Amino acid sequence: MATFSSVTSHLIDLALQEDIGVGDVTSHYFVPEGLVSSAYIYAKADGYLAGIDIAAEVFRRVDAEIKLTAVEADGAAVKYGDHVLEIEGDSRSILTAERTALNFLQRLSGVATNTSQYVDLVKGTQAKILDTRKTTPGWRELEKMAVVAGGGTNHRMGLYDRAMVKDNHIVAQDKLEAMQQAINQLKQDHPKVEVELEADTLEQVEHFLRLEKVDYILLDNMKNADMKKAVHMRGGSGPRLEASGGVNLTTVADIAQTGVHFISVGALTHSAVALDLSLEFRP
């Protein structure tokens, strides 16, 4: 049985509370008490799974006596008709948990499926597909888990685990000394926190490559030709380069060919379409 963080545990409880309220009146009045059934969740579209453990936990929290068998695990590729979770227990309980369990599973599998498309398009290059902080409030931990299930890589979780100095933070270019002092102080106070600087121009890339203790340079909305030049400017060592801006399924392959190490894609989470999954009772 999987264990969950306090945030995820609370999210499951909140989702059940908002759906059930004072009780499932449909199941209470229209399904006989004590009736036991067997059901299954299956895929109605091709894709990749994420959230199997979350869905199973939803059923358990509604009724600890429900028996669950995961047919597939997170990260599994599924095709139409594939069973992913088997359920047996009190019929009322299964019906009460059904929608909440599917909401988690469909949303997270949609993120995994969306991510897998980007990952497939950059195969053969060194580029890794990154997620962003453009996540559903409260769902970040789960959506980033789903990105990994789809073959992607997690960027920073929040404002606390990586310093990302964007254009709204950056001081004038003639104050690189002040920026270096800030980096040094950060590394002294938080040795495990990485530093990433956002560059809008090749001139900024040149300046940032002179700084010490910089882990990443973000190439923001640069043309592919300029990103290739940035890769050449970096040489064989130095901060790793991340491409961002204007990334979609049409452009990602060409961006990967520039030689960048990472490509961040907000659409992995903010524009994912839920994977079509359904629950059916056996006769």
C-alpha 248/C-alpha 124 separation (Å) is: 18
C-alpha 194/C-alpha 59 separation (Å) is: 40
206 is a catalytic site residue: no
220 is a catalytic site residue: yes
Please tell me which residue in 166, 213, 223, 282 is annotated as part of the active site: 166
18 is a catalytic site residue: no
The DSSP call for residue 279 is E
* Residue-wise DSSP of 36-100: EEEEEEEESS-EE---HHHHHHHHHHH-TT-EEEESS-TT-EE-TT-EEEEEEEEHHHHHHHHHH
C-alpha 51/C-alpha 107 separation (Å) is: 8
Please tell me which residue in 99, 133, 140, 240 is annotated as part of the active site: 99
Structure tokens at 183: 């980096």
276 is a catalytic site residue: no
Which residues are registered as beta bridge partners of 195?
163
Which residues are registered as beta bridge partners of 129?
263
Please tell me which residue in 82, 198, 234, 242 is annotated as part of the active site: 198
SS3 of 228-254: HHHHHHHCCCCCEEEEECCCCCCCHHH
C-alpha 52/C-alpha 75 separation (Å) is: 10
Residue 250, number of CB atoms within 10 A of its CB: 9
Please tell me which residue in 134, 140, 229, 240 is annotated as part of the active site: 134
134 is a catalytic site residue: yes
Per the CB < 8 A criterion, the answer to whether 224 and 253 are in contact is no
Residue 3, number of CB atoms within 10 A of its CB: 8
Please tell me which residue in 24, 57, 82, 220 is annotated as part of the active site: 220
Q: In what order do the strands lie in the sheet with 67-70?
A: 67-70, 83-90, 36-43, 277-281
Active site residues: 99, 134, 166, 198, 220
